[in-house]
Amino acid sequence: MINPSHLESYTFFGLEPGLAILIVGRVHGNEPCGTEAILKIINSLRSGKIKLKTGKLTLVPVCNALAANRNTRNGDRNLNRCFYPKIAIESFEDSLNNILCPLIKDHQILLDLHSFKKGQEPFALIGNSDMTLPVNNLCKVSEAKIASWLGVTTVISDWSSTYLTGVKNRRERDKIKEPFHLNYDENYGDGTTEFARKSGIAAVTLECGQHSDPNSVKVATNAVINLLAHLSLITNPSNTLKIYNPRVIKLIRVVDKLDANDFFLFDWQNFDRVSKGKPVAKRKNGSQILAPEDGFIIFPNSDAEIGQEWLYFGTYKN
Ligand SMILES: [Zn+2]
């Protein structure tokens, strides 16, 4: 039983100065791989199997205990949306925001561990694909660089900016002036990593595999160890610092579902390749959605609610 009456956070300090790293799991309650990986790492730190040399390492095994207890994605609402401090508390997740936001601000790098329902290949999500751009003056390392240490072969960038453009288009399309509904609110897309970036902190989301795949725990554990070794918080147990050179797919467009009778022309899977001009979906009125560039279908959701994200297009980062 996970007790939702409090939030547990474990902080370990190396004896020498260094970076402050935050690793979080179970922002979504039905995604246990982050929790299991974090508990393994806590045990390894306590037993001395992993030695923390420098800096500060904070681990939060379960961010949303209410959702984790129910084994559902959300408690009262999706913790990975509207992620900023709240004055009026209207949900369990609002209370969590007021604990987790200051915790994130106390660190320089955030790694948020997730898993997915459909698909095979683990991947990382970063804000911006620029390898050379340090996110802040403290950690001097770009999110693209961090993602290249995590052991995944695919990195997706520019979700936030694509989502924001999508919300603006949505408001224009539906002639909405005020964001009285969450679908039209630019801040609705803010999750843990968006809040971190707005606070000057480098943040990467790692999607470690399917929810119940035991390999997702290995992916998560390996990523955390590689991250800590590359940042010199620990000595890598295998004594190698591997860089994986993942492909970076930049999101360029989001398409909303507009009617229950809109449909995909194929059973799209995440990362399916498409060439420019290929018809991928059809609206109720007969108009077709065409791929805007040579690239990929990302996060296809045939069950999307009306007015919400149906699929994204991505291209290779130039
Ligand atoms: Zn998730």
pLDDT for the residue 186: 77
pLDDT for the residue 241: 78
Q: Are residues 188 and 309 in the same domain?
A: no
**Residue 170 is assigned to a structural domain of this protein:** yes
Q: What is the mean pLDDT of residues 176-182?
A: 73
The CATH number of residue 215's host domain is: 3.40.630.10
CA of 31 to the centre of ligand 1 (A): 6
Q: Which of 227, 245, 263 is the last residue of a domain?
A: 245
CA of 287 to the centre of ligand 1 (A): 33
Please, what is the average pLDDT of the chain? Answer: 92
pLDDT for the residue 136: 61
Q: Are residues 182 and 290 in the same domain?
A: no
Q: Are residues 141 and 288 in the same domain?
A: no
pLDDT tens string 104-153 = 999 999 999 999 988 889 999 999 877 666 666 566 789 999 999 999 99
Q: Classify residue 193 by burial, with Cβ atoms within 10 Å: 0-12, 13-18, 19+.
A: buried
CA of 206 to the centre of ligand 1 (A): 9
- What percent of the chain has pLDDT above 90? 76
Phi, psi values for residue 272, rounded to 5°: -60, 140
Q: Which of 223, 245, 267 is the last residue of a domain?
A: 245
pLDDT for the residue 132: 62
Q: Are residues 36 and 170 in the same domain?
A: yes
Q: Which of 245, 269, 301 is the last residue of a domain?
A: 245
**Residue 130 is assigned to a structural domain of this protein:** yes
Ligand 1 ion: residues within 5 Å (CB): 28, 31, 114
Q: Are residues 258 and 237 in the same domain?
A: no
Q: What is the mean pLDDT of residues 245-249?
A: 93
Q: Are residues 133 and 22 in the same domain?
A: yes
CA of 27 to the centre of ligand 1 (A): 6
**Residue 2 is assigned to a structural domain of this protein:** no
Query: Does 142 or 65 have the greater pLDDT score?
Result: 65
**Residue 1 is assigned to a structural domain of this protein:** no
Listed range (39-53, 166-180, 250-264, 275-289) with the worst mean pLDDT? 166-180
Decide if pLDDT at 42 tops 90: yes
Q: Are residues 198 and 170 in the same domain?
A: yes
**Residue 181 is assigned to a structural domain of this protein:** yes
Residue 276: which pLDDT band, with cuts at 50, 70 and 90? very high
pLDDT for the residue 16: 95
Q: Are residues 131 and 115 in the same domain?
A: yes
Q: Are residues 75 and 119 in the same domain?
A: yes
CA dist 65 to 43, 68, 257, 264, Å?
21, 5, 32, 36
pLDDT for the residue 4: 93
pLDDT tens string 78-89 = 999 999 999 999
**Residue 297 is assigned to a structural domain of this protein:** yes
CA of 313 to the centre of ligand 1 (A): 20
Residue 182: which pLDDT band, with cuts at 50, 70 and 90? confident
Decide if pLDDT at 214 tops 70: yes
Give the largest Cα separation in the chain, rounded: 65
Query: Does 155 or 132 have the greater pLDDT score?
Result: 155
Q: What is the mean pLDDT of residues 180-192?
A: 80
Residue 127's identity, in one-letter code, is: G
Residue 219's identity, in one-letter code, is: V
CA of 205 to the centre of ligand 1 (A): 9
What is the domain extent for residue 132? 10-245
The CATH number of residue 312's host domain is: 2.40.50.100
Q: What is the mean pLDDT of residues 204-219?
A: 96
pLDDT for the residue 239: 61
**Residue 4 is assigned to a structural domain of this protein:** no
Q: Are residues 220 and 299 in the same domain?
A: no
Nearest-angstrom CA–CA distance, 205 and 193 = 7
Decide if pLDDT at 176 tops 80: no
pLDDT tens string 8-31 = 999 999 999 999 999 999 999 999
Tokens for 190, please give them: 């803010």
CA of 230 to the centre of ligand 1 (A): 25
Cβ contact 30:71 at 8 Å = yes
Q: Are residues 206 and 63 in the same domain?
A: yes
Q: How many domains does the chain have?
A: 2
CA of 48 to the centre of ligand 1 (A): 31
Q: Are residues 136 and 204 in the same domain?
A: yes
